[in-house]
Amino acid sequence: MPKLASQQCIDPKQHQPTENQLLKALCAEVQERLFPHLELVEMPLGKVLHESGEVLRYVYFPTDCIVSLLYVMENGASAEISVVGHDGMIGIALLMGGESTTSRALVQSAGYAYRLPGQRIKSEFNRHGELLHLMLRYSQALITQMAQTAVCNRHHSIDQQLCRWLLLSLDRLKDNHLVMTQELIANMLGVRREGVTEAAGRLHKQGVIDYSRGHIIVTDRAKLERLSCECYGVVKSETDRLLPLSRHRTESVA
């Protein structure tokens, strides 16, 4: 196993709200209303943004961190439902009107996020303009991800699921370097740690990843995509369809 550098260099000064794709997609007018209320917050690994059933006070827009939505069972076992990175937002339940969800939001990869008091975004949401439609589309992308998680859990091997999971994480990071123990991945996938070890070993043998003690580097992304099940592709293309990057002018639904 190769040696990997262990330090991360994150400079808060270089963060911009527009690093988050949802915030970026908003028109200047809405941005002007919202951005002054954004607060850049650190998102350390393991931080819990909300527990199951807890009402959120803030919504979070990740820039370079990754947050998992996961369900924790009565016996403590867990399963990841979906992943949110710079592509999305934590807290759609506030907008949906439910105020809370049955899942826990957990920082899975450290970094930063902008947060906004729940009331701020709710009042913007209730103006029924661009933000509403953007959020609805994002919700649908999230729904697709959840649906595909269900499918993948049912039908695909740990190896395939690991590939999917790595790809989803990779898409939300700046480089090909994940800070992530196998134990954590196992919790996300809802499988044994040993199962992840074996799958990772096979991926390494095939020259797709290098890893060591909580660090994973993807060395052959193309091959990773080939080894993954169809689930990754389904989620990716549907997300791209619903939320084309850059600027999509959200026309009214009707």
Partner DNA sequence: TACTATATGTGCGTTATCGCACAGAGCGTA
Partner DNA sequence: TACGCTCTGTGCGATAACGCACATATAGTA
**Interface with a second copy by CB under 8 A: which residues?**
69, 71, 73-74, 77, 79, 81-82, 93-98, 101-103, 119, 122-123, 125-126, 128, 132-133, 136-137, 139-144, 146-151, 153-155, 189-191, 230, 234, 238, 241-242, 250, 252-254
104 C-beta neighbours (distance < 10 Å), count: 19
In 3-state terms the chain splits into helix, strand, coil percentages (rounded to 5) of: 45, 20, 35
Would you tell me which residues interact with DNA (CB under 7 A)?
1, 3-4, 6, 156-159, 181-183, 190-195, 197-198, 200-201, 204, 211-214
Residue 20 Cβ, how far from DNA at the closest point, in Å? 28
What does residue 209 show for φ and ψ, rounded to 5 degrees? Answer: -135, 155
254 binds, among DNA, a second copy, none (CB under 5 to 8 A by kind): a second copy
Which does residue 214 bind out of a second copy, DNA, none, counting CB within 5 to 8 angstroms by kind? DNA
Token duo for residue 89: 């937002």
Question: Minimum Å distance from CB 178 to DNA?
Answer: 10
Report, in Å, the least distance between residue 106 CB and DNA. Answer: 15
Residues with Cβ within 8 Å of 52's Cβ and at least 6 positions away in sequence, in order, are 71, 72, 100, 101, 102, 103, 104
Backbone phi, psi, residue 247, to 5°:
-120, 115
Least gap, CB of 214 to DNA (angstroms): 5
State the binding partner of 125 from a second copy, DNA, none, CB within 5 to 8 A by kind: a second copy
Task: State phi, psi for 108 to the nearest 5 degrees.
Answer: -105, -20
Closest to DNA by CB, 214 vs 233, is 214
Query: Tokens standing for 158?
Result: 């740990």
Residue 136 contact, options a second copy, DNA, none, Cβ 5-8 Å cut-off depending on partner type: a second copy
Contact of residue 183 among a second copy, DNA, none (CB under 5-8 Å per partner type): DNA
Nearest distance in Å: CB 135, a second copy:
9
Q: Which does 32 bind (CB under 5 to 8 A by kind): a second copy, DNA, none?
A: none
Output phi, psi for 101, to 5 deg. Answer: -130, 175
Q: Which amino acid is at 29?
A: E
Contact 19, 63 (CB under 8 A): yes
Q: Could you give the CA distance from residue 228 to residue 162 in angstroms, rounded to a whole number?
A: 8
Q: Which is nearer to a second copy, 45 or 136 (CB)?
A: 136
CB of 204 to a second copy, least distance (A): 25
Distance CA 204, CA 236 (A): 24
